[in-house]
Amino acid sequence: MRVRKPAVAGYFYPAEKEELVKQIEWSIKHELGPKALQMPKLGEKALGGVVPHAGYMYSGPVAAWLYSALAGYGKPDVIIIIGPNHYGIGAPVAVMKSGVWETPLGRVEVDGALAELIMRHYKGVEDDFYAFSKEHSVEVQIPFIQYYFGDVRIVPIVVWRQTLSTSR
């Protein structure tokens, strides 16, 4: 089984479980944070949102807003996380279609069936585990996802070919 180990634990967020939980709770309670673990629904459906991917001390309170809002809709079956590929490593549009991501809060399983479906419908997406090896944009989302939703599957995608046609 492919295991994506943390690359930025201890830098972008705490490497120890207890400290990480405290940092996420600080983000929620911060003067710029949502102050609630679950916000009221913003509409009938929530398909996604945009969240920052910097270190928690900088972006945690803003990230907490999105996850608190999504929590108002209940626990999803799977979360697709799309982030930029800052290093240009691997495929122009990469997905990890099998394995797990590890954080100080435990492991999160990749939803292989959904990853396969995405690859079938979008020919430019490639299975490329290596593309995620150093990338933090997806990694920093996972502890928030674990904290808010517990055991939920993910489909990680990173993009270094950031063009309009790729986005479409």
The full set of domains in the chain, from first to last, is 3-167 (3.40.830.10)
pLDDT score recorded for residue 134: 92
Q: Which run of H or of E encompasses 84?
A: strand 78-84
Q: Where are the alpha helices (DSSP H) in the chain?
A: 17-29, 56-71, 112-121, 136-139, 142-149, 164-167
Given pLDDT bands bounded at 50, 70 and 90, which one contains residue 41? Answer: confident
Determine if the pTM surpasses 0.85: yes
Q: List, for residues 45-98, the tens digit of each pLDDT value.
A: 777 899 999 999 999 999 999 999 999 999 999 999 999 999 999 999 999 999
If you search the block for the tokens 């799977």, which residue do you land on? 78
The upper half-sphere exposure of residue 135, i.e. CA atoms within 13 Å in the direction of its Cβ, equals 31
pLDDT score recorded for residue 39: 82
pLDDT score recorded for residue 48: 85
What are the backbone angles phi and psi of residue 2, rounded to the nearest 5°? -80, 130
